[in-house]
Chains A and B, each alone.
Chain A
Amino acid sequence: MAKKKYWQSFTELNQTETHQKLAANEFREELPVVSGEGKGIENASASRRDFLKYLGFSTAAAMAAASCETPVKKAIPYLNKPQNLVPGVADYYATTYVSGGEAIPVVAKVRDGRPIKLEGNTLSTYSKGGTSARVQAAVLDLYDTARLRTPVSISGDASTALAIDAADKAILEGLKDAKVALVTPSISSPTTKLVIAEFLAKYPGSRHVQFDAVSYSSLLLANEASFGKKAIPSYHFENAKVIVSLSADFLGTWLSPVTFAKQYAAGRKFDQKNPELSLHVQFESALSLTGSNADKRYTHAPSAEGTVAAALLGAVSGTGATGVEGALKKGIEATAEALKAAAGKALVVSGSTDPNVQIIVNAINNAVGAYGTTINWAAPLQVAQGIDSEFETLVADLNSGAVNAVVIYGVNPAYEYYNAAGFAAALKKAKISVSLSERLDETASLCKYAVPSHHFLESWGDAEPKAGSYTLMQPTINPLFKTRQFQDSLLVWAGSANTYESLFKSTWTSKLGSADAYMKALQDGVVEAPATVAGAAFNGAGVAAAVSAVSGKKGGKYELVVYQKVSLGDGKQANNPWLQELPDPITKATWDNYAIVSPQFGKEVLKIDIADSRQADKYEVFMKKPVVKFTINKKEIELPVLIVPGVHAGTIAIAVGYGRTKAGKAGNEVGKNAYQFLTYSGSTVSWTVSDVAIAKTETWYEVAQTQTHSSYEGRHEVIKEVTLKDFKANPELIREERNAELKNYGGLDNYERDGSPYPLHDRPGIKWGMSIDLNSCIGCGACSVACTAENNIPVVGKSEVLRFHEMHWMRIDRYFSGNPYDADSVQTIYQPMLCQHCDNAPCENVCPVAATNHSSEGINQMTYNRCIGTRYCANNCPYKVRRFNWLDYTGADSFKDNQLTEGVGKLDPAVFQMNDDLTRMVLNPDVTVRSRGVIEKCSFCVQRTQEGKLKAKKEGRVLEDTDVKSACQQACPTDAIVFGNANNPESEISKVRKSNSQRYFAALEQIHVLPSVTYLAKVRNAEHIAGHAEHEGGAEHAEAKHEEKHA
């Protein structure tokens, strides 16, 4: 088998000299010792004598500080302890994550009255316990310092706090005889609909407008044309053998990604006895998370999305793929064949904002028999119901005076609407405007009053994301501020005597038949009707017109795609530092948005040929990226560019969700707002722009990317993948490859014994182990945020990420393979990388103070109170998973000055936001908050293993799989991670390892560190694995040289 070639960066691709130099260095920066004048250490005027002076002073200061008397601590019990609450023991409450129209059933872990972690609700058949990075991070929003704390009246930039009664009085006065527009995101909650109806009845001539920042109008309108229903059916990716996505990022951001990821993973689970996989083909312009997981991927210009859809329809219906040529044509034909062959088990989805394209996709789905099998009309999705034209009409009506009052909840049109300035001007004309949103955001600050609503963790409520699948909400904490749930505000203004809580309770009690059933439902969090599947009669009348409307569209040389990032989505959670610091799956950039461009763009416009070592160095080694001025629809914007392989040559992609101005300390002024580039086509808001003018500037801008921070010095045996075809031909392929690597050290069978002079390890009782299936991992990052939340991992801010100081215990490595200049050839593979808990851990031998050592349960332990910060362990770690607290990111130190880093730059405001007493309420009390100067890393969630063991001991029984789940495992929407006691042959981890023996491998197995974390190789349903064979020339040469050096 030919040696595969992977690269994380272009310097690595070319094996440039700088890359090799950097790879050889453990820490990429200079030592941060800086003199008072801010000069480097070589030029510092501070002499050795000064050093001794400082040393003497600090010793004396420490002595003085230590000699203080032990402070008297108080223990204050409750006055009246609530029943069933034991301080120190966590309670769990089922509730629902709601953001915009999205609703995910979750279970909140509440410790001493504070929700500190969200997990997916496994009782739900809708989400099946899946979560996303945004769901995991939502608990932090509860403690956001930027939340509005009281009702306010606003004039200009000033806001005055009001008592709730005074606010009600003024607002009722203002609403008198008004024609009100109630603007909300898509509402699927049945009880909220009752409240809204009651409110609208009170004010005749009023209406409810659903505005979705990311709208699915095109889908709704197309379905109205094809099926007579302005609705979105539910999808069953798990039933599809062939999945074709036309620019739909259904694993990352499209419609209901958490549920789709679960379904998708079902078709990607690999059984070595019966090797079959679903086939996933992606047609797109930029590289999305979904596209990066595709088996086959074809790129096209954004303006050609209609042509591609029409050609696919032609190929499927037998009239031939017209209007396309070359590789794309061949791809479409091959895809059409696959679709036809899998008729009844095929599914096509499209992310297009053009209703005509969606009509064509409906026709394709009809032709391949998707309706009633992979698409279900019996239970429509209700997460997106907003129609773009309705909001457009509202703005016109505000301008004309037909509507003269606005009540806004949960949306932010002054930021999210393509014509934000137009909306702001129209809003001013209303005689009264009230915001019910949680914070004083861009829209709320334009209103006259703001009566903030609760966070969802403080609220009652329900949602019906899919017809028949209800998910309930209950408060998990008393409201932190003087806020009122928006439904209650509406009821008060409707003159109702009811509260929302009583309405909710009575509605559900009567719906379910008894108070007991209601309590049970509240406890479970979900109520579900039996699932049915149905198709719908397809009306093909509009298809021909749609085809002619989309075909022949041509764009300019450079075209724009506006997209959502997996981390931030539409930008509602922009003030969430956990999400801001989560590296984007593709670019691995944090804390920013930027323009993604192709290598061709780099070569032509930026004069950076990434195949040229010197130019690649210039681009990749430094954090500074060239800034380009884009002129889009007559609006100018300067953005740094990131060159990403796999992007169509003429495509530029910019993410929304950034450029907030009133989000809060962490979210303000991060990146630039891309919503301004959306356009209104007459029926829908379009997310592509067919002509973009560009001008290179001389400025550079630092983008904090993390991918190249840790290097394996070219040892790419960390990942293994194989094609389905090759696997079927020889299932022992991976084992043979491993055997070849290990043959000098005893081969596969005797490797553990013969591979090194270390004795075999004694493992009485428990041996913790983790298995990660690279076939299931989609790179979404939910695990990374879950780990951050569970383990009190500090946020370091952009300035520190730029200095390579990010702290994530769980990172997701992204590797490309293929020819960067051929977008269709580029393949992506993700590998979650965390402490491998090696049995022969190299970090343990080098610690001078034994702060890191091994437990009898196989955990590589890190003892913070012993660590003196030599960082030898990090230096010796082959996986680069150890993180050092360079500064006091948590504010945990006794010495305040550890946060004032004069000389090396100040910490970002986001770090101080995380240090606020309010935000600190999110900390997990069972995990130490680390202070400056210690190393930390994945602990295998030791607080959870200890708790699980204790539970089993108290019950006097053997430990079971359900007792212990690591945070990453629980968060994973695709169940890629399995964790448990590997000594028990009946445990899930043992079974997974045994039944997947042909894909089993450990990262860098040949160095005999014997990791406790093992992986299962990725199997790709593609013709070949892109790699060395395709990419000839300079790079190969460089690699050969590189190997020589290391030999």
Chain B
Amino acid sequence: MSELRTIAQRIALSVILLSFLSFANEAAAQDGKALFKANCAACHNIAKDATGPALKDVESRWPSKQLLVTWIKNWNKAVATGDAYAVKIKEWNPGVAMSVFENLSDKDVDAILAYIKTETDALNAAPTTVPGGPGGKTEESDNSLLYGVLTLILAVVSLIMLQVNANLRKLADDKDGVPAAEPIPFYRNKSYITLMTIVLFVIAGYFLSQWAIGMGRQKGYQPDQPIFYSHKVHAGTNQINCLYCHGGAYEGKHANIPSVNVCMNCHNNIKEYGGEKLYKEDGTEVNGTEELKKLFAAAGWDPAQNKYVGQGKPIEWVKIHNLPDHVYFNHSQHTKAGKVQCQTCHGEINKMDEVYQFSELSMGWCVNCHRESKVDFNDEKGGGNKFYSIYEKYHKEIKEKKRDSVTVSDIGGLECQKCHY
């Protein structure tokens, strides 16, 4: 392992160095990285063949860059030119045709190619590639223990003081000759009993209400799934965009778990797992290739014959994020209109082998975010979402510098019927 790590660190170092060297390329490569992840990463890996061929040195393979750009935007047009290489590449994976990307501008494609070039250079510098190093954890400072200890010490001190006080009074009484009452042991002392009862009641009440509030909440819920599907491998290592599988998150209320045919888009080519070893949460090792066989069984696909042979059967995943029935939640409202990143609520899913519930999903959690999040309010330059142009009052206040931003709660994001109807 340590050897691999060293290699990884070296790669990382060389990538950084290279990127410094190709300074002019940097901005383009940065855009290119995002574009590559969004559009290409689902099928293409730079270093190795996937659903599509490896993109290492792609530019040098093509007769002209212009033709390559044409291919990327609409491969049909490239084939139509009759170029021998384009025709050859068309047959690279007969099962799956490449998508059409007419929406990409020439500039976008250039950026993607620049990114591929940077990566290619990095790869050429170090022939083997193993991505990723261990991520550092930031310890959250938690003072509750300190406070607890302090409280305990103070409580003990005050008890001692009380006892001392009582003893002193007794001594004084003895001195004054006041007849002392029969000393009562503390467990029969009414003050002590009352105090203890109240303390117990408060503690029990606190825990009871915490337990009651937490009923049905499942933060950290990490069930075993029918197939060991690793988000880390897909979204982390292979950089597949979340929306490739969970496209619904941008369109409607459900993010949707992808149907089996979406998995098979890639996996009719990727038949075995050859990446880093996989481990379950309890430490047992997982054989990725065996897990893939479960997928093939569900799809009714025979990997040996490369065709669908059986009926297939949908996979019954265990639902992790459960909201009560009386809550209306719409993914697209948050992702598309609100521009919230998936990771904000789902955590660093690209580092999870087995997904767990990252957020509390309680109403308090929702409401806090609505209080703090700013909406994409229009600015004076005409940016922002035009929908909010009707909020004249806030525009006026911004102009008069009475406020600098508008939060979700300002436009009614805390009202009951935004989520309950």
CB pair B252–A87 under 8 Å, yes or no, is yes
CB pair B314–A89 under 8 Å, yes or no, is no
In the bound complex, residues from chain A placing their C-beta under 8 Å from that of B318 are: 72-75
CB pair B259–A78 under 8 Å, yes or no, is yes
Question: Is A2 in the interface zone, CB < 8 Å from B?
Answer: no
Which of A914-935 touch B at CB < 8 Å?
A: 926-929
Contact of A76 among B254, B314, B385 (CB under 8 A): B314
Question: Is B258 in the interface zone, CB < 8 Å from A?
Answer: yes
In the bound complex, residues from chain B placing their C-beta under 8 Å from that of A943 are: 328, 421
Question: Is A939 in the interface zone, CB < 8 Å from B?
Answer: yes
CB pair A939–B386 under 8 Å, yes or no, is no
Given the contacts A866-B416, A950-B332, A958 and B317 also touching, CB distance less than 8 Å: no
In the bound complex, residues from chain B placing their C-beta under 8 Å from that of A863 are: 416-417, 420
CB pair B390–A959 under 8 Å, yes or no, is yes
Residue in A closest to B392 when the chains form the complex, CB atoms:
A764
Complex Cα distance, B253 from A853, in Å, reads 25
Instruction: Report the interface size class on chain A.
Output: 35 or more
Given the contacts A79-B260, A950-B337, A765 and B326 also touching, CB distance less than 8 Å: no
CB pair B420–A864 under 8 Å, yes or no, is yes
In the bound complex, residues from chain A placing their C-beta under 8 Å from that of B216 are: 70
CB pair A856–B412 under 8 Å, yes or no, is yes
In the bound complex, residues from chain B placing their C-beta under 8 Å from that of A73 are: 318-319, 322
Question: Is B215 in the interface zone, CB < 8 Å from A?
Answer: yes
In the bound complex, residues from chain B placing their C-beta under 8 Å from that of A958 are: 386-387, 389-390
Residue in A closest to B211 when the chains form the complex, CB atoms:
A67
Contact of B248 among A88, A939, A959 (CB under 8 A): A88
Question: Which of A75, A927, A928 has the most chain B CB atoms inside 10 A of its CB?
Answer: A75
Question: Is A513 in the interface zone, CB < 8 Å from B?
Answer: no
Contact of A856 among B257, B324, B332, B411 (CB under 8 A): B411
Q: How many residues of B contact A (CB 8 A)?
A: 56
Question: Is A952 in the interface zone, CB < 8 Å from B?
Answer: yes
Q: How far is the CB of A153 from chain B (nearest CB, A)?
A: 33
In the bound complex, residues from chain B placing their C-beta under 8 Å from that of A949 are: 387
Which of B172-215 touch A at CB < 8 Å?
A: 215
Given the contacts A73-B318, A79-B259, A953 and B337 also touching, CB distance less than 8 Å: yes
Complex Cα distance, B421 from A862, in Å, reads 8
Residue in B closest to A80 when the chains form the complex, CB atoms:
B261
CB pair A861–B416 under 8 Å, yes or no, is yes
Question: Is A983 in the interface zone, CB < 8 Å from B?
Answer: yes
Q: How far is the CB of A638 from chain B (nearest CB, A)?
A: 47
Complex Cα distance, B329 from A88, in Å, reads 11
In the bound complex, residues from chain A placing their C-beta under 8 Å from that of B252 are: 86-89
CB pair A74–B260 under 8 Å, yes or no, is no
Complex Cα distance, B389 from A983, in Å, reads 12
In the bound complex, residues from chain B placing their C-beta under 8 Å from that of A957 are: 386-387
* Binary interface encoding of chain A residues 66-107 relative to chain B, with 1 for a CB under 8 A from any of its CBs, else 0: 100010111111111100001111000000000000000000
Complex Cα distance, B333 from A765, in Å, reads 18
CB pair A926–B336 under 8 Å, yes or no, is no
* Binary interface encoding of chain B residues 372-414 relative to chain A, with 1 for a CB under 8 A from any of its CBs, else 0: 0000000000000111111111100000000000000011100
Question: Is A859 in the interface zone, CB < 8 Å from B?
Answer: yes
CB pair B262–A81 under 8 Å, yes or no, is yes
Residue in A closest to B262 when the chains form the complex, CB atoms:
A81
In the bound complex, residues from chain A placing their C-beta under 8 Å from that of B262 are: 81
Question: Is A47 in the interface zone, CB < 8 Å from B?
Answer: no
Contact of A72 among B223, B325, B336, B337 (CB under 8 A): B223
Question: Is B9 in the interface zone, CB < 8 Å from A?
Answer: no
Q: How far is the CB of A195 from chain B (nearest CB, A)?
A: 35
Question: Is B83 in the interface zone, CB < 8 Å from A?
Answer: no
Q: How far is the CB of B169 from chain A (nearest CB, A)?
A: 47
In the bound complex, residues from chain B placing their C-beta under 8 Å from that of A765 are: 388, 390-391, 411-412
Question: Is B247 in the interface zone, CB < 8 Å from A?
Answer: yes
Which of B124-157 touch A at CB < 8 Å?
A: none
Residue in A closest to B413 when the chains form the complex, CB atoms:
A856
CB pair A856–B390 under 8 Å, yes or no, is no
CB pair A87–B319 under 8 Å, yes or no, is no
Which of B347-394 touch A at CB < 8 Å?
A: 385-394
Complex Cα distance, B262 from A855, in Å, reads 42
Q: How far is the CB of A760 from chain B (nearest CB, A)?
A: 13
Q: How far is the CB of A162 from chain B (nearest CB, A)?
A: 27
Question: Is A762 in the interface zone, CB < 8 Å from B?
Answer: yes
Complex Cα distance, B325 from A958, in Å, reads 31
Question: Is B77 in the interface zone, CB < 8 Å from A?
Answer: no
In the bound complex, residues from chain B placing their C-beta under 8 Å from that of A959 are: 387, 390
Given the contacts A861-B417, A952-B387, A77 and B315 also touching, CB distance less than 8 Å: yes
CB pair A87–B248 under 8 Å, yes or no, is yes
Question: Is A766 in the interface zone, CB < 8 Å from B?
Answer: yes
* Binary interface encoding of chain A residues 935-962 relative to chain B, with 1 for a CB under 8 A from any of its CBs, else 0: 0000100110010011011101111000
CB pair A77–B314 under 8 Å, yes or no, is yes
Q: How far is the CB of A455 from chain B (nearest CB, A)?
A: 27
In the bound complex, residues from chain B placing their C-beta under 8 Å from that of A861 are: 415-417
CB pair B421–A86 under 8 Å, yes or no, is no
Question: Is B313 in the interface zone, CB < 8 Å from A?
Answer: yes
CB pair A79–B248 under 8 Å, yes or no, is no
CB pair B417–A942 under 8 Å, yes or no, is yes
Question: Is B330 in the interface zone, CB < 8 Å from A?
Answer: yes
CB pair A74–B317 under 8 Å, yes or no, is yes
Q: How far is the CB of B54 from chain A (nearest CB, A)?
A: 29
Question: Is B102 in the interface zone, CB < 8 Å from A?
Answer: no
Question: Is A984 in the interface zone, CB < 8 Å from B?
Answer: yes
Residue in B closest to A927 when the chains form the complex, CB atoms:
B421
In the bound complex, residues from chain B placing their C-beta under 8 Å from that of A72 are: 223, 318
Q: How far is the CB of B11 from chain A (nearest CB, A)?
A: 37
Complex Cα distance, B298 from A80, in Å, reads 11
Question: Is A43 in the interface zone, CB < 8 Å from B?
Answer: no
Question: Is A857 in the interface zone, CB < 8 Å from B?
Answer: yes
Question: Is A274 in the interface zone, CB < 8 Å from B?
Answer: no
In the bound complex, residues from chain A placing their C-beta under 8 Å from that of B298 are: 79
In the bound complex, residues from chain B placing their C-beta under 8 Å from that of A70 are: 216, 218, 322
Complex Cα distance, B333 from A856, in Å, reads 19
Complex Cα distance, B388 from A880, in Å, reads 36
Contact of A75 among B253, B319, B415 (CB under 8 A): B319
Question: Is A865 in the interface zone, CB < 8 Å from B?
Answer: yes
Q: How far is the CB of A972 from chain B (nearest CB, A)?
A: 22
Q: How far is the CB of B228 from chain A (nearest CB, A)?
A: 17
Complex Cα distance, B389 from A74, in Å, reads 42
Question: Is B22 in the interface zone, CB < 8 Å from A?
Answer: no
CB pair A939–B254 under 8 Å, yes or no, is no
Complex Cα distance, B387 from A957, in Å, reads 5
Complex Cα distance, B315 from A76, in Å, reads 6
In the bound complex, residues from chain B placing their C-beta under 8 Å from that of A956 are: 385-387
CB pair B258–A865 under 8 Å, yes or no, is no
In the bound complex, residues from chain B placing their C-beta under 8 Å from that of A983 are: 390
Complex Cα distance, B218 from A73, in Å, reads 12
Q: How far is the CB of A333 from chain B (nearest CB, A)?
A: 57
Given the contacts A764-B393, A928-B325, A939 and B421 also touching, CB distance less than 8 Å: yes
Residue in A closest to B397 when the chains form the complex, CB atoms:
A764
* Binary interface encoding of chain A residues 854-884 relative to chain B, with 1 for a CB under 8 A from any of its CBs, else 0: 0111010111111000000000000000000
Question: Is B251 in the interface zone, CB < 8 Å from A?
Answer: yes
Question: Is B95 in the interface zone, CB < 8 Å from A?
Answer: no
CB pair A928–B319 under 8 Å, yes or no, is no
Question: Is B418 in the interface zone, CB < 8 Å from A?
Answer: yes
Known: A864-B326, A959-B390. 14 other contacts (CB 8 A): A70-B218, A79-B259, A86-B254, A87-B248, A88-B253, A89-B253, A762-B393, A764-B411, A765-B388, A765-B391, A855-B415, A864-B420, A928-B420, A957-B387
A/B interface sample: 18 pairs, CB < 8 A: A70-B218, A72-B318, A75-B319, A76-B317, A77-B317, A79-B259, A79-B261, A79-B314, A81-B258, A81-B261, A89-B248, A89-B251, A853-B416, A863-B416, A863-B420, A950-B337, A956-B385, A959-B387
Q: Which A residues are within 8 Å of any B CB, using their own CB?
A: 66, 70, 72-81, 86-89, 762, 764-766, 853, 855-857, 859, 861-866, 926-929, 939, 942-943, 946, 949-950, 952-954, 956-959, 981, 983-984
4 A-B pairs closest in CB distance: A89-B252, A88-B254, A78-B259, A81-B259
